[in-house]
């Protein structure tokens, strides 16, 4: 079933009786060409591109909970390719190009909103660093604009430019960056993969691997043994736990990252804004809530919730650049388990 404006109009006139489920709920087959463990952003996009770009359709995605119950449904929804290093920037830029075309690609409204990502800078040396970063972005084919204080004031007059400790001197802007409705990403990919025959199996937890002569030929699940020629693990913060079942130790620690949403406010914040002198990033959702986050809590955790010191730290970061949010109340907060390579480089 194709989604379109006409379809919505037609269904509106005929009592919305024609909508079908967006994906099937099949029982697992005995064997697949490829098994993907984890129905999050990476697992579902892998299934989607395998089936839609590379014609590999005999694929199963095994998810222990429900689709998008991991980090893909918990993040602060920011998309961007404003990195520096030649090793990672092309990767993020390719991703941003995929995001830009995601809705056409999947025929699913994932609310991709290229509202611009502003990285604030607070000193001369930081301006220099951001000029360098902007140039690296442009060299990789991405877009970057450097805004001086006055240009930034026109866009975001409410920022605390005169802050005594961290005055705001300008920003690096990536106009193509923005936000996207996180769980619609999971749903869009799931539907697109399902249409091509990928089996998406929820409530199916992988508890072990079947390894014969050094080769992995299948997985043990609570729905029985499922065999496959190739197996991919996309389980984010649970990677160490899962791979230990195959006797593999990883260079990863699991950490909790928290996210926060304020009560709904009238439209006030058009872009994504990040603080350059501390860890704080914020955007406003279409429902009006300020969606923001900051640092990881910083100790190993599988608890999927964080502690109060980081809540305080993140809110202080927000107050340092936009004191106007001081009266907004926090509505919800939660945490997701990410995998970090030792030395704090995220792999999620």
Ligand X SMILES: Cc1cc2nc3c(=O)[nH]c(=O)nc-3n(C[C@H](O)[C@H](O)[C@H](O)COP(=O)(O)OP(=O)(O)OC[C@H]3O[C@@H](n4cnc5c(N)ncnc54)[C@H](O)[C@@H]3O)c2cc1C
74 binding partner (options another protein, ligand X, none; Cβ < 5 to 8 Å by kind): ligand X
Interacting residue with ligand X among 43, 218, 289, 317 (CB under 6 A): 43
Indicate which of ligand X, another protein, none lies near residue 278 (CB less than 5 to 8 Å, by partner kind). none
Closest CA to 50 of 180, 42, 68: 42
Site for ligand X in 188-227 (CB under 6 A): 205-206
Interaction of residue 74 with ligand X, rule CB under 6 A = yes
Check residue 259 for interaction with ligand X (CB under 6 A).
yes
Neighbours of 341 (CB within 10 A): 12
- Cα dist from 321 to 46, 127, 175, 193, 277, whole Å: 38, 17, 20, 42, 10
- Residue from 52, 77, 284, 285 binding ligand X (CB under 6 A): 77
DSSP secondary-structure letter at 139?
Answer: H
- Based on CB atoms, which residue is closest to another protein, 91 or 302? 302
Exposed/middle/buried for residue 221 (C-beta within 10 Å: 0-12, 13-18, 19+): buried
Q: State in angstroms the smallest separation of the CB of 299 from another protein.
A: 5
Q: Which does 309 bind (CB under 5 to 8 A by kind): ligand X, another protein, none?
A: another protein
42 is in the binding site of which of another protein, ligand X, none (Cβ under 5 to 8 A by kind)?
ligand X
The rounded distance, in Å, linking the Cα atoms of 191 and 187 is: 6
Token couple for 180 = 């996207």
Position 299 contacts another protein (CB under 8 A): yes
Q: Does 329 sit near another protein (CB under 8 A)?
A: no
State in angstroms the smallest separation of the CB of 260 from another protein: 18
The SS3 call for residue 215 is strand
Q: How far lies 61's CA from each of 33, 56, 105, 226, 230, in Å? A: 12, 13, 20, 11, 12
Structure tokens at 334: 């939660």
**Which one of the spans 5-13, 71-79, 101-109, 318-326 is the region binding ligand X (CB under 6 A)?**
71-79
Binding region for another protein (CB under 8 A) out of 95-103, 136-144, 174-182, 303-311: 303-311
User: How far is 294 from 283, CA to CA, in rounded Å?
Assistant: 12
Binding residues for ligand X, rule CB under 6 A, total 34
Alpha-carbon span 189 to 44, nearest angstrom:
6
Please state, as a whole number, how many other Cβ atoms lie within 10 Å of the Cβ of residue 155. Answer: 15
- What lies within 8 Å, CB to CB, of 331 at 6+ separation is 261, 262, 263, 264, 289
Residue 40 sits in the site that holds ligand X (CB under 6 A): yes
344 lies in the binding site for another protein (CB under 8 A)? no
Residues 236-295 that bind another protein (CB under 8 A): 238, 240-241, 244, 249-254
Place of tokens 């590379």: 54
Contacted by 254, from ligand X, another protein, none: CB < 5 to 8 Å by type: another protein
Task: Check binding of 338 to another protein (CB under 8 A).
Answer: no
Find where tokens 């409410």 sit.
158
Task: Give the Cα separation of 119 and 137 in Å (integer).
Answer: 13
Q: What does the binding site for another protein look like in residue numbers (CB under 8 A)?
A: 238, 240-241, 244, 249-254, 298-303, 307, 309, 342
Q: What does the binding site for ligand X look like in residue numbers (CB under 6 A)?
A: 37-43, 62-65, 69-72, 74-78, 205-206, 234-236, 238, 242, 257-259, 293, 336, 338, 348
């Amino acid at each position: 079933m194709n989604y379109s404006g006409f379809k919505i109009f037609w269904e509106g006139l005929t009592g919305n009786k024609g909508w079908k489920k967006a994906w099937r709920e099949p029982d697992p087959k005995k064997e697949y060409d490829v098994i993907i463990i984890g129905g999050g952003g990476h697992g579902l996009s892998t299934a989607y591109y395998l089936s839609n770009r590379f014609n590999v359709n005999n694929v199963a995605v095994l998810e222990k909970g429900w689709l998008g119950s991991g980090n893909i449904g918990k993040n602060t929804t920011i998309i961007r390719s404003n990195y520096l290093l030649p090793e990672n920037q092309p990767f993020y830029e390719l991703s941003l190009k995929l995001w830009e075309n995601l809705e056409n690609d999947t025929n699913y409204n994932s609310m991709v909103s290229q509202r611009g990502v502003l990285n604030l800078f607070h000193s001369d040396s930081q301006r220099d660093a951001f000029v360098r970063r902007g140039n690296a972005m442009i060299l990789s084919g991405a877009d970057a604009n450097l805004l001086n204080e006055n240009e930034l004031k026109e866009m975001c007059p409410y920022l605390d430019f005169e802050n005594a400790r961290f005055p705001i001197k300008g920003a690096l802007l990536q106009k193509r960056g923005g936000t996207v409705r996180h769980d619609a990403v999971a749903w869009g990919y799931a539907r697109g993969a399902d249409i091509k025959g990928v089996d998406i199996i929820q409530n199916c937890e992988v508890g072990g691997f079947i390894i014969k002569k050094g080769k992995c030929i299948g997985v043990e699940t609570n729905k029985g043994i499922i065999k496959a020629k190739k197996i991919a693990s996309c389980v984010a913060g649970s990677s160490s736990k899962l791979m230990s079942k195959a006797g593999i130790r990883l260079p990863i620690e699991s950490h909790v990252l928290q996210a926060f949403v304020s009560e709904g406010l009238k439209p006030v914040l058009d872009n994504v804004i990040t603080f350059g002198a501390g860890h704080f990033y914020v955007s406003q959702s279409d429902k009006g809530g300020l969606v923001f986050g900051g640092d990881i809590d910083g100790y190993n955790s599988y608890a999927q919730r964080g502690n109060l010191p980081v809540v305080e730290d993140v809110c202080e970061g927000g107050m340092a650049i936009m004191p106007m949010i001081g009266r907004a109340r926090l509505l919800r907060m939660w945490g997701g388990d990410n995998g970090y390579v030792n030395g704090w480089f995220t792999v999620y």
